[in-house]
Chain A
């Protein structure tokens, strides 16, 4: 309950600090539209020559783009800026105030401030998802029971995607306790992460393996979208939940080990 109150508080304070800078809203909205629009145009061109790409239809890939945008938006809204600032805060000794607050330090370091203008990504992502579900009702409603199961699995897997994406970024940030300024890791990860806005199945085998394992971008957007349209067996579904849980536990342990190394450089 306190954590929800704190996230609400961080949102409110971020809103208070960011609302006066309206131009940022315009640039963020334009950037969201441009990013999504360019992806859509590229797809349209490809689909004038084919009906499917690695087994995915045009609408399925547009939905995937929407899911990708939604996940990227939620992360950018709540945690991205905080996690990406972590290495500098660690090196410059700016975690002192956070450490002395009577609340989980990993939570406070992840949610300190919100990028409220990332709401444009979230809204666009939700819009595309809803639109896609309605446009594809005939494909989705084999039986209403199956439809509900697929929808539930989809939302649970979106939750897993958020946790996994947060965790991988947090690993890069936390490595700052040992390696110093690890900001370059975020640039590398973001470049690979961008590959997740298309179906991972269309990449060559090595990249496919990489995107399902070491940098699990494939798990992040492709799998939830696939599950929305095709469903998933109970065993692989439970396996994904278990994998997410392990990744999350590892993230927590890495943070706890790192915080012990903190040397508070500033006086």
Chain B
């Protein structure tokens, strides 16, 4: 479905020193610098997969998405998506993909309504009028944009604009969705709705979804497979549970003891991570979790107890420290 083979991308960017002196010297002589945004990455993605692409700012995530969608030419290597070479931007290819950005979900002028933007898509993507009208009603219901899809886009909240942006993208039934930080700036409810929708779209259409995000919730809730990119190199490509198991081989036991048990030294059960408002979090090796939980429940009077995975952020932090898995 998607094949990326030894792909590199370098940019030539103008550089200058700060201040008026730098501006003057760049007016006379312009210095340029070559920056390797992506340094040789290779991977394959099968149809119907949802893959999370994570990494810090400037790691090369967006550049990779731009090469996959066809905006940028790779400097080296080969990319094939559904048998097409993306940078050739054949209309048949562009009709099968969508690139949606959380920071700018809609391209239409702000004075237009989402319905106007959808009508624009009908002409641009050569959609049959009858099937467009039928699909439109379904999409409006599906994304829940009925209350505001006839209002000017400028009056919509970011979450509403994002849902309208998704409507404009799925109206032509793309087989591959490239999502660049789809939940950026959204509140928790709006994030959750977008994630729910993406899951449903994938289930109903078997579309392939590749998303970048700084919100680990997006990745942990949507993707079984993740790719971690750092400084233009792929650090990890595989199952998310495997990554957590191998890099953070421990669980967090979170419990609330009753008032009679507060004197107990909890470090005898594991490494104490937090102690706040009577809630205690201890870190315990995976294989010790059943035994420690049993001991805690028998030794002390516990009001409530849960076993949790460590935060995904700490796994990624570990990965950056370890460099290679």
Residues of A that sit less than 8 Å from B by CB: 2, 5-6, 9, 13, 16-17, 20, 96-97, 99-103, 105, 113, 180, 260, 262-264, 267
- Determine whether B112 belongs to the interface, using a CB cutoff of 8 Å to chain A: yes
Which residue of B is nearest A20, CB measured? B111
Q: A2, A20, A99: which contacts B123 (Cβ < 8 A)? A: A2
* A20 partner residues in chain B, CB cutoff 8 A: 111
Q: Is the CB of A5 within 8 A of B71?
A: no
Some 7 contacts from A to B, beta carbons below 8 A apart, are: A97-B107, A100-B97, A100-B99, A101-B124, A263-B72, A264-B72, A267-B62
Shortest beta-carbon distance, A253 to chain B, in Å? 17
Q: Is the CB of B71 within 8 A of A96?
A: yes
Residues of B that sit less than 8 Å from A by CB: 11, 14, 62, 66, 69-73, 89, 91-92, 94-95, 97, 99, 103, 107-109, 111-112, 116, 119-120, 123-126, 180
Q: Is the CB of B62 within 8 A of A100?
A: no
Knowing A2-B126, A96-B99, A102-B94, the reply to whether A17 touches B112 (Cβ < 8 A) is yes
Bound together, the chains give a CA A101 to CA B124 distance in angstroms of: 7
Q: Is the CB of B112 within 8 A of A100?
A: no
Which residue of A is nearest B95, CB measured? A102
Shortest beta-carbon distance, B92 to chain A, in Å? 8
Residue of B94, B119, B124 most packed against chain A (CB within 10 A) = B124
Q: Is the CB of A13 within 8 A of B116?
A: yes
Q: Is the CB of B120 within 8 A of A100?
A: no
* A97 partner residues in chain B, CB cutoff 8 A: 107
* B125 partner residues in chain A, CB cutoff 8 A: 102
Q: B11, B99, B112, B124: which contacts A6 (Cβ < 8 A)? A: B124
* A180 partner residues in chain B, CB cutoff 8 A: 14
Bound together, the chains give a CA A97 to CA B123 distance in angstroms of: 15
* B109 partner residues in chain A, CB cutoff 8 A: 13, 17, 113
Shortest beta-carbon distance, A256 to chain B, in Å? 11
Q: Is the CB of B11 within 8 A of A263?
A: yes
Q: Is the CB of B123 within 8 A of A100?
A: no
* A260 partner residues in chain B, CB cutoff 8 A: 73
Bound together, the chains give a CA A25 to CA B126 distance in angstroms of: 34
Knowing A99-B71, A100-B94, the reply to whether A17 touches B111 (Cβ < 8 A) is yes
* A267 partner residues in chain B, CB cutoff 8 A: 62, 103, 180
Bound together, the chains give a CA A267 to CA B111 distance in angstroms of: 24
* A262 partner residues in chain B, CB cutoff 8 A: 71-72
Residue of A6, A16, A20, A180 most packed against chain B (CB within 10 A) = A16
Knowing A96-B99, A97-B107, the reply to whether A102 touches B116 (Cβ < 8 A) is no
Knowing A17-B109, A267-B62, the reply to whether A101 touches B94 (Cβ < 8 A) is yes
Residue of B71, B72, B112, B125 most packed against chain A (CB within 10 A) = B71
Q: Is the CB of A16 within 8 A of B71?
A: no
* A13 partner residues in chain B, CB cutoff 8 A: 108-109, 112, 116, 120
Shortest beta-carbon distance, A120 to chain B, in Å? 21
Q: Is the CB of A9 within 8 A of B123?
A: yes
Q: Is the CB of A99 within 8 A of B70?
A: yes
* B107 partner residues in chain A, CB cutoff 8 A: 97
Shortest beta-carbon distance, B287 to chain A, in Å? 42
* B94 partner residues in chain A, CB cutoff 8 A: 100-102
Knowing A2-B126, A16-B111, the reply to whether A100 touches B116 (Cβ < 8 A) is no
Q: B11, B92, B111, B124: which contacts A103 (Cβ < 8 A)? A: B124
Bound together, the chains give a CA A99 to CA B112 distance in angstroms of: 21
Q: Is the CB of A103 within 8 A of B112?
A: no
Bound together, the chains give a CA A101 to CA B71 distance in angstroms of: 10
Q: Is the CB of A9 within 8 A of B120?
A: yes
Which residue of B is nearest A8, CB measured? B123
Q: B11, B14, B123: which contacts A5 (Cβ < 8 A)? A: B123
Q: Is the CB of A6 within 8 A of B123?
A: yes
Bound together, the chains give a CA A100 to CA B69 distance in angstroms of: 8
Bound together, the chains give a CA A97 to CA B89 distance in angstroms of: 12
Knowing A96-B71, A100-B69, the reply to whether A16 touches B126 (Cβ < 8 A) is no
* A101 partner residues in chain B, CB cutoff 8 A: 94, 124
Which residue of A is nearest B12, CB measured? A263
Shortest beta-carbon distance, B59 to chain A, in Å? 11
Bound together, the chains give a CA A96 to CA B70 distance in angstroms of: 9
* B92 partner residues in chain A, CB cutoff 8 A: 102
Shortest beta-carbon distance, A15 to chain B, in Å? 11
Which residue of A is nearest B99, CB measured? A100
Give the 6 A-B CB pairs with smallest separation, nearest first.
Answer: A102-B91, A17-B111, A97-B107, A102-B94, A267-B62, A102-B95
* A17 partner residues in chain B, CB cutoff 8 A: 109, 111-112
